[in-house]
């Protein structure tokens, strides 16, 4: 598919949606954005590493598709309802998402080296340093093992270092090492079992997405294999979303845990098509992908009951991420729950964590026009950050394999600006430490 064909696909799908589905202009435009970037991502998998597509896909899924389903199919949820009408919601969210994507994709200059050229240089690097894959996997495994026994103030650094398990796998796929599948099964199997133990699946799905994207870039799969991998991944997502609530309840009530419980629930729920298609399951799945109920609640509550923050939360995020606590002892904690109650008017329990989302925070600070402009600036900021990574990759080609680690939290559509910035800053420092340490400890310049 040519670049021209991709544009035709997006535009055509937009007009088809306008004719077939009884939705407003902005909703149709929003669905077309999702279809366009989904097509773009599928086409480009195996040809480049494009983290931007994942950002837009997750954002449009949670900000547009989930809310549209909530409006049109399941509008009567007592708690996760859409607090403003569809026209009010979509007329802000869709332009803001478009502004975000424009900032994210606007050309900043030509890459000095193509992704394939960088990949070739990484292959040459691996020929020179044959054990770089095992070194990174080892550091990642050790970090994951000791993360719960070290002081709390360095756990986040070890959490980042633990991601080297997966980056090591990328190097492994480029090596001539035998038994690659054994390493893959051990590392990804461990990730899956950890997700079961913690009953948290978001990082599992994100790392699998990154893994599939980068390995596809390395092995260049055929169209048939890309379709097969896509359906397998979608089946995993549907399976997890179908049983996640029941799984967590069973673990909390002491009725089971781990792989055994997960397997039993898959047999009872997923393999019974009647449950998968049931009203309660489909409604719950829509609720889980619908970040828009929070954004709609913010739009209802602010400025009716709470004035626009005028950039206050953005300033606090900058202070929180860029200044150490001894210089800013009163700085807010990243992802603080105070903002949620303040800008939505909703009270949540002490053990519940909910963020405004980047888009919700944009509105809470600047309203509609300012919020759209803010999303453009954020997209442009991400765009420049990625462009800067590729500038550095001219001398350090292996850096492109670290993009998933740097953007692990950034791609999530439901988190606040403070969490995003905090992760970007700390992950960038951690990656610098890794490059410095591998060079000075192991004598490997990557």
In a domain, 20, yes or no: no
Which structure tokens are listed for 46?
């195996």
In a domain, 15, yes or no: no
Beta-bridge mates of residue 45: 48
In a domain, 152, yes or no: yes
In a domain, 3, yes or no: no
What local confidence, expressed as pLDDT, does residue 326 receive? 43
Query: Domain range for residue 55?
Result: 45-442
Number of domains in the chain: 1
Which structure tokens are listed for 382?
């991400």
In a domain, 12, yes or no: no
In a domain, 33, yes or no: no
C-alpha–C-alpha distance, residues 36 and 16, integer Å: 13
What local confidence, expressed as pLDDT, does residue 262 receive? 87
In a domain, 291, yes or no: yes
> Per-10-residue mean pLDDT for the chain, 446 residues long?
53 56 79 88 88 93 93 79 93 96 92 86 90 92 92 89 94 88 92 90 90 91 90 88 84 83 82 66 81 95 93 89 57 63 83 83 96 97 95 92 93 90 92 90 84
The three-point CA angle 408-414-416 to 5° equals: 85
* Other Cβ atoms within 10 Å of 167 Cβ, number: 25
What local confidence, expressed as pLDDT, does residue 390 receive? 92
Concatenated DSSP letters of 45-87: BTTB--HHHHHHHHHHIIIIIHHHHHHHT-TT-SSS--SS-HH
What local confidence, expressed as pLDDT, does residue 335 receive? 46
What local confidence, expressed as pLDDT, does residue 166 receive? 94
What local confidence, expressed as pLDDT, does residue 389 receive? 94
In a domain, 37, yes or no: no
What local confidence, expressed as pLDDT, does residue 3 receive? 52
Taking alpha carbons only, the member of 99, 188, 118, 124 closest to residue 403 is 118
What local confidence, expressed as pLDDT, does residue 43 receive? 87
Alpha helices in 268-410 (DSSP H): 273-276, 279-289, 292-301, 312-322, 338-344, 358-392, 403-406
């Amino acid at each position: 598919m040519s670049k021209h064909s991709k544009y035709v696909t997006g535009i055509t799908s937009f007009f088809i949606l306008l004719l077939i589905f009884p939705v407003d202009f902005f909703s149709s435009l929003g669905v077309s954005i999702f279809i366009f970037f989904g097509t773009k991502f599928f086409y480009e998998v195996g040809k480049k590493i494009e983290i931007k597509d994942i950002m837009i896909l997750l954002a449009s899924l949670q900000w547009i598709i989930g809310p549209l389903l909530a409006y049109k199919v399941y509008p009567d949820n007592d708690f996760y309802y859409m607090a403003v009408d569809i026209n009010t919601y979509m007329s802000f969210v869709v332009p803001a998402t478009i502004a975000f994507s424009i900032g994210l994709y606007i050309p900043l200059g030509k890459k000095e080296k193509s992704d394939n050229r960088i990949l070739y240089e990484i292959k040459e690097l691996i020929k020179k340093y044959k054990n770089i894959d095992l070194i990174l996997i080892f550091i990642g495994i050790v970090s994951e093992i000791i993360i719960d026994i070290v002081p709390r103030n360095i756990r986040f650094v070890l959490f980042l270092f633990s991601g080297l398990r997966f980056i090591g796998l990328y190097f492994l796929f480029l090596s001539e090492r035998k038994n690659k599948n054994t390493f893959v099964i051990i590392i990804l199997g461990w990730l899956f079992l950890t997700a079961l133990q913690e009953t948290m699946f978001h990082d599992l799905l994100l790392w699998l997405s990154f893994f599939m994207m980068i390995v596809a870039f390395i092995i260049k799969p055929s169209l048939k294999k890309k379709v097969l991998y896509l359906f397998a991944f979608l089946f995993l997502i549907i399976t997890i979303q179908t049983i996640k609530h029941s799984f967590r309840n069973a673990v909390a009530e002491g009725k089971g845990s781990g792989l055994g419980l997960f397997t039993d629930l898959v047999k009872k729920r997923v393999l019974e098509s009647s449950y998968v298609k049931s009203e309660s399951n489909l409604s719950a799945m829509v609720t889980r992908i619908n970040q828009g109920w929070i954004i709609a609640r913010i739009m209802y509550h602010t400025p009716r009951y709470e004035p626009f923050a005028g950039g206050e939360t953005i300033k606090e995020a900058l202070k929180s991420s860029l200044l150490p606590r001894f210089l800013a002892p009163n700085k807010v904690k990243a992802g603080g729950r105070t903002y949620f109650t303040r800008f939505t008017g909703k009270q949540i329990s002490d053990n519940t964590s909910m963020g405004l989302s980047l888009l919700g925070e944009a509105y809470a600070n600047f309203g509609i026009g300012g919020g759209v402009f803010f999303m453009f600036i954020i997209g442009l900021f991400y765009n420049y950050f990625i462009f800067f990574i590729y500038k550095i990759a001219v001398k350090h080609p292996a850096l492109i394999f670290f993009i998933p680690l740097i953007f692990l939290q950034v791609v999530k559509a439901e988190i606040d600006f403070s969490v995003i910035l905090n992760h970007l800053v700390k992950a960038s420092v951690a990656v610098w430490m890794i490059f410095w340490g591998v060079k000075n400890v192991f004598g490997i310049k990557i």
